[in-house]
Amino acid sequence: MSNALTPIVNGLFAYCRWFISAWVDLEEDKKVIKKKYDKVKENKELEEMKKEIQEYKNKLASLEMPKMLPYKYIWTNSKGTLRVCIGYDLYNDPVWIDFYKNNHLLIAGATGYGKTSIIRTILISLMLTYDKDHLKIILVDFKNTDLPPFEIYQQVNRECIFEEDRFNKMLDSLSKEGKERANKIREKGYFNIIDYNEAEADKIKPVIVVIDEVSQICDNTKLRDKLIKCMGLVRAYGIYFIVATQIPSKDTVGKIKSHTIHRIGLATADKVDSDMIIKNANLQDIKDKGRCKYDVDGKLILTQSFFTQMEDVKGYLKYLQK
């Protein structure tokens, strides 16, 4: 009997083995098919995303930025900020620079592309927003050309500096003032001017130091290193440098960059210069004057800056002479 059943039992076993392996294979096949399906779906989504990006790019390209924007004063609520508008972005939104938030500013680009115009914009707008009790401005112009006309306005402290000796003394007195401010702020339990000014009645006046063409002093390495040290020392205490240069060398921009967390880059001669100012900003592709990229808060904002001439300064600041 058992002998007669053996082929049947063997047959049953063989059938079960076949069934199980077929079932396992089927499950494997299902997994492979699911994977393939997911891949196709993923590719389809990728294609759709690519299409959307291309449409977005086309839309951007069709948005034209004006080649020239005359100066315009845009009012800002000054509470808790020290900010000015320098122009408009691609979407026609104002582009703001806030010294309280981002401290020292670097403006760099090839000669004749609009650095001084941006400095004029910042100076006019600051003076229209903050009066002499709320702002002090120090001017340094080693070419002694573009900044001296600002000497006559109330917020500007004394005459424009254009000699190394006076610049050296100015750095000494700013470092001293920085230390005094630090003591005053820390004594009351604060760490920076913003928190101090928000809570205390006797406000500390912010100081803006503008240096047009910093490379002129960078040949004097002692003075350059002193400037860089001073920049590091004073920035938490309301003393902010605006540094402009047409020479984006390692010794100028390279060193100053370590103390500037926001930067404006105008057109440059090549990619090497561009990368020195803002990494991968491709400033060498900019063709228009006043067109710049503002590197702030991890964003790169393409901006058309206002074209601000001395006539604008005279007109807007008519009532702010000393």
Ligand X SMILES: Nc1ncnc2c1ncn2[C@@H]1O[C@H](COP(=O)(O)OP(=O)(O)OP(=O)(O)O)[C@@H](O)[C@H]1O
Which residue number, 230 or 243, has a Cβ lying nearer to ligand X?
Answer: 243
Question: What is the enclosing helix (H) or strand (E) of 158?
Answer: none
Q: Per-residue contact track with ligand X, 36 to 75, x per CB under 6 A?
A: --------------------------------x-------
Which residue number, 240 or 306, has a Cβ lying nearer to ligand X?
Answer: 306
Residues that bind Mg ion (CB under 5 A): 115-116
CB of 305 to ligand X, least distance (A): 5
Q: Which residue is nearest to ligand X (CB)?
A: 290
Report which DSSP code applies to 110.
Answer: S
CB of 276 to ligand X, least distance (A): 16
68 binds, among ligand X, Mg ion, none (CB under 5 to 8 A by kind): ligand X
Cβ-based neighbour number of residue 158 at 10 Å: 10
CB of 317 to Mg ion, least distance (A): 19
CB of 230 to ligand X, least distance (A): 23
Does residue 307 touch ligand X according to CB under 6 A?
Answer: yes
238 binds, among ligand X, Mg ion, none (CB under 5 to 8 A by kind): none
Among residues 83, 97, 104, 115, the one that binds ligand X under rule CB under 6 A = 115
Does residue 142 touch ligand X according to CB under 6 A?
Answer: no
CB of 205 to ligand X, least distance (A): 28
CA max distance for the chain? 125
By CB under 6 A, which span of 115-123, 155-163, 201-209, 234-242 interacts with ligand X? 115-123
Q: Three-state DSSP class for 72?
A: coil
Measured CA to CA in angstroms, residue 240 lies from 31, 78, 206, 311 at distances of 62, 17, 8, 26
Among residues 80, 112, 232, 315, the one that binds ligand X under rule CB under 6 A = 112
Q: Which residues does residue 242 pair with via DSSP β-bridges, in sequence order?
A: 105, 210
Report which DSSP code applies to 155.
Answer: T
Report how far residue 109's alpha carbon sits from residue 107's, in angstroms, rounded to the nearest whole number. Answer: 7
Which residue number, 24 or 68, has a Cβ lying nearer to ligand X?
Answer: 68
Q: Which of 298, 297, 302 is nearest to 282 (CA)?
A: 302
CB of 244 to Mg ion, least distance (A): 7
Q: Is 248 exposed, middle or buried (0-12, 13-18, 19+ CB in 10 A)?
A: buried
Q: Which of 224, 250, 234, 249 is nearest to 138 (CA)?
A: 234
Instruction: Give one DSSP letter per residue of 227-243, joined into a string.
Output: HHHHHHHHGGGTEEEEE
CB of 305 to Mg ion, least distance (A): 13
The three-point CA angle 161-304-242 to 5° equals: 25
Which residue number, 116 or 125, has a Cβ lying nearer to Mg ion?
Answer: 116
The amino acid at residue 144 is N
Task: Tell me which residues in 242-281 interact with ligand X (CB under 6 A).
Answer: 246
Distance in angstroms between the alpha carbons of the first and the last residue of the chain: 125
The amino acid at residue 305 is S
Does residue 290 touch ligand X according to CB under 6 A?
Answer: yes
Does residue 221 touch ligand X according to CB under 6 A?
Answer: no
Binding residues (CB under 6 A) for ligand X: these are 68, 111-117, 246, 289-290, 305-307
